[in-house]
Structure 1
């Protein structure tokens, strides 16, 4: 994984008219004249549990208090896929939102389709761009070095374990498995000596299944794509095949259900107390904490050949097809939503990983992690994290990967299935090479 470039260069699009826009955005005392108020839409998804729509509404109200000349209409648009569809439909209708939260992995595709204006073309602010963790900027910068989007609700995959079931099974409730082999041993003991229905569950439906497979591949030395170019994948590498075989073995040993484990319902199923360990996004942390009536822990993913996880989550994108003034307003909103103060609140409310160091030193997050250090696990995993698969035509590629995962977990041969997936992905990406 390459580090974020030390300099960020615009790709040639000058910011014509932005000086005037900046003057317009400057507070001039009192209420802004009606003709001077810029109105923009902000589309966002909620892909984890919890009443987060009201939290976002509160952020927008606070933004309005600080920016009298900008009025934002927040539009909750479902999950990430639904939000992307809404953004595409609004754009086709000639009314794109000014700012939206979409998957960080959609960056190359959105830019290729001219749906976004890379934020580095609108503003040149190395201090702002440099304030975010490199691990999250890896999915935020285009191959030519231009900053395309701003990290907002970011994540890594972590393991949650039920301490009461550990104790019931005769395991130390304060010591989760550090390796895959230990996880298998613990899961067997949990099923044999506790009331748990399942020792471990790893979600495998939809694109979540592809994301979890990425984690296992990384742990076996394989990053499933080339982040430098976005044009190549490594789906049939021996380490990827090993990862898929290990996952399938959990079913063969009867440690998790046969077939597919549902991404959306697994956190609530874990909170009901029937599973010893699960893998899922850190973004479910607050949801699980609010709903589990037992002690649980959060740990980095158990390592196979090495530790590792892909990053994940959403970025803030400024859309194409809007005026320079609207783009400047969108940048102001992006600055606000990515600020340490808002990110500190958002991390506590959602469970996502605040993507910049300063947020972790800001209240309420600073006090929250003292009380609940589990909230820091995903951040501490960043040194061994790799950027989530984000090729060109990413949706097609992740569908190929996810379909391969589903096929194997439903009985198909791992090696042959991944070879076929590699061929399908190569055919899709050929035009970009």
Structure 2
């Protein structure tokens, strides 16, 4: 298990620690790091209201770019000068917890029940919650209706199964010369994510409810075999593409179908005739599924204001405030609040991103998440380029990731 407390800190990090020490001298300051370019819309008002309801405490926010924010929060905690509250990928929570850097955030049964199924699982291990979900993404299938029609397919009928997905992609490639499907296989995190969509649409798992690694299963083998099979009907050189690099190809009608998140609905070219549908289901799938990815508010240990940080995290993410945040950022809602149905009625393209939740599954939590991710990406790439047999590499990867849980 990697020991974060032994991480070396460079000169730049030490400078950050010096500035943080000044803030931590005020024991009633609740310091908070948010990832991005600016404070989330609405947060200034939400924070002001929380301060009004919690006299004697002041929230100090710092916005840090996506590439540095998680590292900064972690480094400050490792150095013993923790931020109180920070925006973190839920995938990091187990590692942070195992190293004693964050505190659990208890949730009542009512709070847990307020979320869509499996959302709380993305922040739960050892029977406790270690973050408050703040951002949620699901995926769906985008298809180019004009390319369907050019290939002689019904432009209003997207594939519902893996077999239909393959067959339609093959027909499009044969009839139009355009790759039928955008396949992700770059050395990047969403290569693992894309494979996990196939796992969950085939009723598979990586870790079961008892914490056992169950990657080497018939469901997951089918998922890996089909992932490799899609190479024949996809763009040339999938190892050169991560999911966001496939969106421009879709926009330019250079690929007929891609799997992407709801934010892409606002990035599709105006002149493109497109639709969006739930992800196709595998032979053993129970229904449309998707990988459920969350980011969370994590409360760091040692700030002296942990209780207030938990209160602030829950306030910022309460049903009303959270739904406002989701609407302004184009994120899949975390809860089935009253406004969700209205949102879908106003824009039916939202529906597929909600339909996959019931049979979806959480991003697995590992103590060494980076090593787990690398192993999974290597597995997928080896099948895509044909350097390993799916059954053999699935079995060896399952054994490897036992070390990282």
* TM-score computed with the length of structure 2 as normaliser: 0.82
Q: Could you say what the CA RMSD is over the residues aligned between the two structures, in angstroms?
A: 2.5
1:347 aligns with 2:326: yes
Match of 1:76 in 2: 64
Query: Does the CA-based 8 Å contact 1:60-1:74 persist in structure 2?
Result: no
How far residue 70 of structure 1 moved from its aligned partner, in angstroms, is 2.6
* TM-score computed with the length of structure 1 as normaliser: 0.77
Ranges in structure 1 where 5+ consecutive residues have no aligned partner:
1-34, 46-52
Offset from partner CA, 1:207-256 (integer Å, 9 cap, x none): 21112222222334431222432xx32333333222212111121x2433
Bigger drift between 70-79 and 208-217 goes to 70-79
**In structure 2, distance between residues paired with 1:250 and 1:190:** 13
Query: Does the CA-based 8 Å contact 1:298-1:374 persist in structure 2?
Result: yes
Query: Does the CA-based 8 Å contact 1:155-1:353 persist in structure 2?
Result: yes
Query: Does the CA-based 8 Å contact 1:43-1:83 persist in structure 2?
Result: yes
Pick the aligned partner of 1:400 from 345, 351, 375: 375
**In structure 2, distance between residues paired with 1:142 and 1:238:** 25
Match of 1:315 in 2: 296
Pick the aligned partner of 1:297 from 258, 275, 293: 275
How many residues are treated as equivalent by the alignment? 368
Match of 1:199 in 2: 180
**In structure 2, distance between residues paired with 1:164 and 1:344:** 35
How far residue 153 of structure 1 moved from its aligned partner, in angstroms, is 0.9
Match of 1:103 in 2: 89
What is the DSSP-based 3-state SS (H/G/I as helix, E as strand, rest coil) of the residue aligned with 1:391? coil
Distance 1:348 1:136, change over 3 A: same
Pick the aligned partner of 1:112 from 87, 93, 98: 98
**In structure 1, distance between residues paired with 2:65 and 2:83:** 12
What is the DSSP-based 3-state SS (H/G/I as helix, E as strand, rest coil) of the residue aligned with 1:334? helix
Query: Does the CA-based 8 Å contact 1:186-1:199 persist in structure 2?
Result: yes
Pick the aligned partner of 2:201 from 204, 219, 238: 219
Bigger drift between 95-104 and 207-216 goes to 95-104
| Runs of 4+ residues deviating >6 angstroms | none
Bigger drift between 385-394 and 111-120 goes to 385-394
Query: Does the CA-based 8 Å contact 1:268-1:288 persist in structure 2?
Result: no
How far residue 342 of structure 1 moved from its aligned partner, in angstroms, is 3.0
How far residue 93 of structure 1 moved from its aligned partner, in angstroms, is 3.3
Pick the aligned partner of 2:48 from 62, 65, 68: 65
How far residue 39 of structure 1 moved from its aligned partner, in angstroms, is 4.2
1:235 aligns with 2:210: no
Ranges in structure 2 where 5+ consecutive residues have no aligned partner:
1-25, 52-56
Map 1:417-432 → 2, pairs under 5 A: 417-429=393-405
**In structure 2, distance between residues paired with 1:377 and 1:427:** 36
Query: Does the CA-based 8 Å contact 1:177-1:186 persist in structure 2?
Result: yes
**In structure 2, distance between residues paired with 1:427 and 1:37:** 41
Distance 1:174 1:74, change over 3 A: farther
**In structure 1, distance between residues paired with 2:156 and 2:266:** 17
What is the DSSP-based 3-state SS (H/G/I as helix, E as strand, rest coil) of the residue aligned with 1:102? strand
